[in-house]
Structure 1
Amino acid sequence: MRKPRRGNSPLPTLLPTLVAILLAALPAAAGTLRVGPGERFAMPSEAARAAGPGDRVVIAPGVYRDCAVWRAPGLTIEAAGGEVVITGPICAGKALFVITAPRVTVRGLTFRGAAFEGGNAAGIRAEGGDLTVLRSRFEDNQNGILTHHRLPEARLVIEESAFVGNGALIHECAHGLYAGTWALVAIRRSRFEGTRICHHVKSRALATEIIDSAILDTPGNRASYLVDIPNGGNLLLANTTLRKGPDHGNPTAAVMLGAEGVRHPTASLRVIGNRFENLMPRGTNFVENRTGTPVLVEGNTIRGTVVVLAGPGEVR
């Protein structure tokens, strides 16, 4: 009986091709991109164009007259040490940093002087989802941080950061922080001071937390509310120092809840253990609640002519 002919197996020939295909399908390892004099990237915008998912971008001390659009997810963008200032023109008519990807961390940077003829420029425009801002500073911008108007699963976390002298009123009102309909805005151990006009913190988020922070008017600034929660949503405002100054833009209240109509589920409103001072020559409401949910106002220290609560709730 004739034995079948044994041909050459195609596997050895195909193996290198298969390996190459598999390697190409694997995600590239995250790298470190360095920005500054003598580095591969002279400006943040150059690093932004080259950055891939999960990369770490380290910026040397200095003043960078630049703006950048960050499109890769999972980035960490941080100062190498010393002061790193981002200033100058804005990108896409929006911001010094436009972040269009999720899970980005910004650490140790200063954003200064974001301005545009429309009056709504920002230090950071958050358009991609989860964003964490740590130990950063926002000075003299039309908005400090401005988020996309609706990302209901996204979280914005701000810790150990300062917002000083932001705010503008040119066609539209701009604020220290303006957050759209996000899942959570959490502000911890941070400071808002001298917002020129409009509100220090305006949040349309489903939940807003402001803890261990300071929100302060200064002489000459004409800010409106210290905290504006215009559409309801849960609020925890705790262990924070608040001050309404003599040159107010709106004497009505320091903390306003539901002024533009309640659009979000509002199960819990708590204003606990804060310190509020009214420096205006007339009285004001510490908390004005226009939602249908009672607010708990407990253990706060009040100075000046103040109605502690206007609207439904309990004062303890």
Structure 2
Amino acid sequence: MKLNKLTLVKIIAAFIISISLINCGGGGSSGDSSQEGVAEGMQEGTTEGTQEGTTEGASEGVTEGNQEGSQEGFQEGNSEGNQEEGGSESGYTISGSIDSSLIDQLKINKVLIFEGTVSSDTITTGIDPVLTANVSQNTASLLWNYSVNSEISGTYTIAVMTSESDFSKGGASIAVNKIITANIPAEDSYQANFTADNIITVGANGDYPTPSTAYPYVEDGDVIEIEAGTYENDIVVWRQNNITLRGVNGKAHLHASNTIEYEGSNDQKNGKGIWVIRGDNVRVENIEFSGATVPDENGAGIRLEGENLYISNCYFHNNENGILGGYGTTLVEFSEFANNGYGGGYTHNIYIGNYTDKFIFRYSNSHHAKVGHNIKSRAAENIIKYSRIMDEANGYSSYGIDLPNGGDATIIGNIIQQGANAENNKLISYGAEGISYDSNSLNIINNTIINQRSSATYIRIAGGITANLTNNLFIGDGTLVSGEANLSNNLQFSSDPGVVDFSGYDFHLTSSVTTAINSGTDLNSSLIPSLEYSHNSRYSERENDGHIDIGAYEYH
């Protein structure tokens, strides 16, 4: 083959550069090198099943990633730097979608790629991956994805895995949720999607016409996909474990127009709620519940009697209770609760029972509870963050948040508003019915709390507990605290200090609120707000310029 002069010059130049890199210790990346910015090209999926209403400011590429307690710390959004080992700059990727039934929202999720064909047992007992990718959730579509740059080819095993903290080989907390054996082509991108093993479809064109007719055929671990539409008076008691109940192509609406009577062992007449969940580790996604009433006036959209319930992108409205009960961990995210309550003060938008170890309410919207509370929880640990809890103009709830039995509570980054017609003059109440737990603490950090009632006490603390109140913005007259509290860098204004749209309930800061900007107290890492609530029932990344602002929103 003949070489012209230009080609020969290029070859010589490339040879000289390669020698220079070797002498300088440059060249290829080692397994410890982190390739940043590989989240580009990640599949974002469709927008099916998004929460109704607007999604103002929803960030499609943010990472919270902080670990909250021993079981949180999952990746919240698209992740920069998700290629941790063996990366390249070829532009080729291994990527795909992951069914939510294979995700643990309370742990860290990753995709690990291993050379050859290996089993789940081999992975958990100790073997090094050649590539590692973080798993991320698109905050608009709520679909899960992964992506990693790659130059590998041949036979590899791709595994979706979860861990509480440690992905080192042989780690005791590692779980392999699913594996795929793939023949990855050379010099090309490769897509490997992780789907559920068994999907049952419900709807006019599905396997079964309604959830109740599908119920007898559901087994542990199944995914039940319910076509969007209204399912009238279709009452179910779910006893299976590890199932996912999911609306598709829009929300599936479970509406009870008739009172749910009680009649012995008849599930359709369970006397409790539209869905009674007795199985453990159940996920409910993209479902709407309305109209639940029972003879004792304590009906619920979901009555929870099993351990560990995960609610995502659901809408509970006009029930006697939205959710009632709880065992183990209850997680509610990206969801809306409105106009629930019988009206006597004993039923609520959300009522979590005292058998619950942990209740997490995040990126959600609870408003207009009827006389009862927007959130009531007797759990041993409560984490309420980046959410909207409000009466607006015509609501008449009692408390915004009621934690009657104490426990460990973190309330961070929320917008909490009490309207002029509120039934009670307290916005947040802690320990009012007696402290029930050995471990008790209350941290109220970087919230924007608004009182529009004629008189109010923002926070009532009982039981001899000393709370920590830091960087909160209070708007409206009223006493800040009844009880013991350490207060640090909180601000109170008697009226609108100049937020974006006070009457429209947009409490983002403007440049007028100078005393709130860059005035916050630095906190330890677990209490620094990293996200902000975005309406409706989403979140966005909170900007961090090294100087924290007071309130739920950072000025920018």
Q: Normalising by the residue count of structure 2, what TM-score does the alignment of the two structures yield?
A: 0.49
Give the match for residue 10 of structure 1.
none
Q: Which residue of 2 aligns with 1:130?
A: 308
* C-alpha distance in 1 between matches for 2:298 and 2:392: 22
Counterpart amino acid of 1:270? N
SS at match of 2:310: strand
| 2:450 alignment partner in structure 1 | 277
Q: Partner amino acid for 1:136? A: C
Structure 1 match to 2:223: 56
CA distance in 1, matches of 2:484, 2:216: 51
Q: Mark the CA change 1:158 to 1:244 in structure 2 (over 3 Å): closer, same or farther.
A: same
* Bigger mean CA offset, 259-268 vs 51-60: 259-268
Q: Find the structure with the greater CA-based Rg.
A: 2
Query: One-letter code of the match for 2:482?
Result: A
Q: Which amino acid aligns with 2:399?
A: Y
Q: Output the CA distance in 2 between the equivalents of 1:236 and 1:82.
A: 33
Equivalent in 198, 203, 216 of residue 372 of structure 2: 198
Residue 118 (1) aligns with residue 118 (2) = no
Answer whether contact 1:48 1:70 (CA < 8 A) is retained.
yes
Aligned length: 281
- Whether the aligned pair in 1 keeps the contact of 2:343 and 2:370 (CA below 8 Å) is no
State the distance in 2 between where 1:61 and 1:210 align: 30
Q: How far did 1:30 drift?
A: 5.3
2-side partners of 1:167 and 1:245: how far apart?
17
Alignment partners' CA distance in 2, 1:124 and 1:30: 26
Letter of the 1:178 partner, please give it.
Y
Alpha-carbon distance between aligned partners in 2 of 1:118 and 1:220, rounded to the nearest angstrom: 27
2:318 corresponds, among 123, 134, 140, to 140
Does residue 1:100 correspond to 2:278, yes or no?
yes
2:200 to 27, 33, 41: 33
Of 234, 237, 245, 1:77 maps to: 245
C-alpha deviation, 1:49, in angstroms: 2.3
Letter in 1 for 2:416: L
1:30·1:52 contact (CA, 8 Å) conserved in 2? no
CA contact (8 A) 1:98 1:127 kept: yes
SS of residue in 2 equivalent to 1:83: strand
**What CA distance in whole angstroms lies between the structure 1 residues aligned with 2:383 and 2:411?**
6
Q: Secondary structure at the match of 2:249?
A: coil
Comparing both structures, which one devotes a greater share of its residues to strand?
1
- How far the C-alpha of 1:221 sits from its partner, in A, is 2.8
Q: Does 1:306 align with 2:450?
A: no
> For the aligned residues, what is the CA RMSD?
1.4
Cα deviation digits, residues 97-151 of structure 1 (max 9, x gap) = 1100100000001101111231100000110110000010101111000014xx3
Distance 1:116 1:30 in 2: 37
Alpha-carbon contact 1:229-1:256 (below 8 Å) kept = yes
Tell me if structure 2 keeps the 8 A contact 1:289–1:309. Answer: yes
Match runs of 1:1-316 below 5 Å: 31-65=198-232, 66-88=234-256, 89=258, 90=260, 91=268, 92-148=270-326, 151=327, 154-169=328-343, 173-181=346-354, 182-251=356-425, 253-282=426-455, 284-316=456-488
Q: What do the CA deviations read for 1:165-187 (whole angstroms, capped 9, x no partner)? A: 111135x7100110112100000
For 1:40 and 1:239, the matched residues in 2 are separated by: 43
For the residue of structure 2 that corresponds to 1:45, the secondary structure is: helix
| Counterpart contact for 1:238–1:272, Cα < 8 Å | yes
| 5+ long unaligned stretches in structure 2 | 1-195, 261-267, 489-556
Contact 1:266 1:293 in 2 (8 A): no
Instruction: Tell whether the 8 Å contact from 1:100 to 1:127 is kept in structure 2 after alignment.
Output: yes
* Aligned mates of 1:204, 1:280 — CA distance in 2: 26
Q: Secondary structure at the match of 1:47?
A: helix
**Cα distance in structure 2, aligned partners of 1:97 and 1:309:** 39
- What is the distance in 2 between the residues matched to 1:56 and 1:33? 6
Amino acid at match of 2:444: V
